[in-house]
Amino acid sequence: MFANLSDRLAGTFKGLRGKGRLSEADVDATVLEIRTALLEADVAVPVVRAFTAVVKERALAAAASGALNPAQQIVKIVHEELVAVLGGEARPLRLAKQPPTVIVLAGLQGAGKTTLAGKLALQLRGQGHAPLLVAADLQRPNAVDQLRVMAERAGVAIFAPEPGNGVGDPVQVTKDARAYALQKQHDVVIVDTAGRLAIDAELMQQLREVKAAAQPDDTLFVVDAMIGQDAVRTAEEFMQAVGFDGIVLTKLDGDARGGAALSVKGVTGKPIMFASVGEKLTDFEVFHPDRMASRILDMGDMLTLIEQAERAFDAEQTERMAKKVAKGEDFTLDDFLEQMQAVKKMGSLGKILGMLPGMGDMKAQLDQVDDRDLDRVAAIIQSMTPGERADPKILNGSRRLRIAKGAGTTVTEVNGLVDRFAQAQKMMKQMGKGGGMPGMPGMGGMPGMGGGSKKSKGKSQGSAKAKKGRSGNPAKRADQESGVAMAPASAGPGSMLGMGAGGRVEDAASLELPDELKRLLG
């Protein structure tokens, strides 16, 4: 894994500590790091050049102003600029005054047009429209069938007069579709075209004709978030040859940094309207520029984490948990197990932790987290009786021995689990009392959560806990201390930066989270 921008910058600035202000050469070095970070995120070279020029100018100004922490300032500048470029005017789909509204989907092969057609149709149907899917991809074998299945799943109508597989004329199909939609009273027509390369003159001509026949209100350019340097050229050529009004980014559920978004937006100036984030028809959402900016810079992204959690935890389960927490009921090992399974669904543990802001400098350690350890913990819990799971306090020596045998492990490990669980339980309880989250002060200041008011409280509690966190039991204490030693020095500017990485420098409360987390992790 590549180090994220803030780590890189931290490295650059290490040598500069003690310097009153930054020279131009220092800024140049910084800009070079930003450039590399952007290139590694697949932002296209010309876009990088333009972007770094702007950043450099602002960075010089920041350096000249003698800001206290120039590194933080620069990360903030980069993030702001990214959001500015990515954002712009977000707008909903343009609906024709005189139905039907026609939407044409265009893009490279494998960008996800057919799937997107289904998703878009489902969303429009949910908004009370009567969409019609038009199978104008007559090139790829069985694309028509695929669209038909999509239409079925989305519960919308389809217009597919031609069998496809190279048979039929997409232009004619599009023309007929308009008439068909008028006749059948469909108010939105979504035309799924065949994937094509921008250099294929013949197919581009065909696309132009399809577009002319469709007279679309919106032409959407569908682009894969994983695309590399070619994004710019493809977008430019589609723009020139056919023209489009908006961009849809697909496969954002992967871990591609998605620099393509910046490239395409930067070159064409068209708004990124939607993001496609999964294989289900409902995995479709409006594009969020600020999250994309964090993602391109590979910064911890709490919001994405929360979203993934929302997806992994089913609604009923969360409801139950929320009630439990609110009532101050005990968090049982069964709940713990359930949560753990859900966490497993979210992906690898290392990656999830990596999404927390400020974890950047722990990457090496995170990479070592073995997900099979989750299975081991699960095995311990599964070796307990329901009674024991509900109330771990009844676990005496012989019970623990039995569990250890059942799980194929040692009593020490069972003890460890029970101890840690007790801590978690305490945490959940305090949370239920409305006291914020002791030991996890960062939570209060989480952006976009409406929890800003808890900042100060969280902070004070956090530092209090850090002090009393030492155990009276010598063995345990040694354990804890070794743990602290294992974690990299966390109080330095590195973690300050890591937090700045979230682009929320002003949010002082979140500063506590990484430290605290590291201590616990150790």
Partner 1 sequence: MDSALVYAAIAVAVILTLAISVVALRRRGGAQAIEPAASAALTAETREVETSAIVLELEVPEPAAGRLHRLRTRLARSNSAIGQGLLALLSRDTIDTATWDEIEETLLLADLGVGPTNEIIERLRTALRVEGGARSADAVKEALREALLALVDPGMNRELVTAAPNRPAVVMIVGVNGTGKTTTTGKLARLLVAEGRSVVLGAADTFRAAAAEQLQTWGDRVGAVVVRGPEGGDPAAVAFDAVSAGVRDGADTVVIDTAGRLHTKTGLMDELDKVKRVIEKQSQVDEVLLVLDATTGQNGLVQARVFAESVNVTGIVLTKLDGTARGGIVIAVQRELGVPVKLVGLGEGPDDLAPFDPVEFVDALVAG
State the Cα angle at 283 between 363 and 153, rounded to 5°: 145
Q: What are phi and psi of 272, to 5 degrees?
A: -85, 115
| Longest distance between any two alpha carbons in the chain, whole Å | 82
Q: Min. distance of Cβ 442 from partner 1 in angstroms?
A: 9
Specify the DSSP element, H or E, that contains 33.
helix 24-40
Which residue among 58, 344, 363, 399 contacts partner 1 (CB under 8 A)?
Answer: 344
- What is the dihedral angle through the alpha carbons of 344, 349, 354, 355, rounded to the nearest 10 degrees? 10
Segment contacting partner 1 by CB under 8 A, of 14-22, 62-70, 176-184, 448-456 = 448-456
10 Å Cβ neighbour count for 124?
21
Q: Min. distance of Cβ 51 from partner 1 in angstroms?
A: 14
Q: Is the peptide bond before 493 cis (omega within 30 degrees of 0)?
A: no
Does residue 224 sit in helix, strand or coil?
A: strand
- Per-position x/- string for 356-395, each x denoting binding to partner 1 as judged by CB under 8 A, each - no binding: x------------xxxxxxxxx-x----------------
Does residue 250 sit in helix, strand or coil?
A: strand
Q: Is 257 in the site for partner 1 (CB under 8 A)?
A: yes
Going through 50-209 in order, the beta strands assigned E by DSSP cover 101-107, 131-136, 157-159, 188-193
Q: Is 482 in the site for partner 1 (CB under 8 A)?
A: yes
- Per-position x/- string for 203-242, each x denoting binding to partner 1 as judged by CB under 8 A, each - no binding: ---------------------x-xxxxxx-xx--x-----
Which tokens go with 412?
């020490």
Q: Count residues binding partner 1 (CB under 8 A).
A: 115
Which tokens go with 324?
């439990």
Does residue 272 sit in helix, strand or coil?
A: strand
One-letter amino acid of 80:
E
Site for partner 1 in 277-306 (CB under 8 A): 279, 302, 305-306
Segment contacting partner 1 by CB under 8 A, of 58-66, 79-87, 105-113, 129-137 = 105-113
10 Å Cβ neighbour count for 397?
8
Site for partner 1 in 160-199 (CB under 8 A): 165, 197-199
Nearest to partner 1 of 386, 408 (CB atom): 408
**Cα atoms in the 13 Å half-sphere on the side-chain side of 401:** 3
Which residue among 23, 109, 127, 282 contacts partner 1 (CB under 8 A)?
Answer: 109
Q: Min. distance of Cβ 145 from partner 1 in angstroms?
A: 4
Q: Is 336 in the site for partner 1 (CB under 8 A)?
A: yes
Site for partner 1 in 385-444 (CB under 8 A): 407-410, 412-413, 416-417, 420-421, 423-424, 427-428, 431, 434, 437, 440, 443
The β-bridge relationship of strands 272-276 and 284-286 is: antiparallel
Q: Min. distance of Cβ 175 from partner 1 in angstroms?
A: 25
Q: Is 26 in the site for partner 1 (CB under 8 A)?
A: no
Q: Is 340 in the site for partner 1 (CB under 8 A)?
A: yes
Site for partner 1 in 119-148 (CB under 8 A): 139-143, 145-148
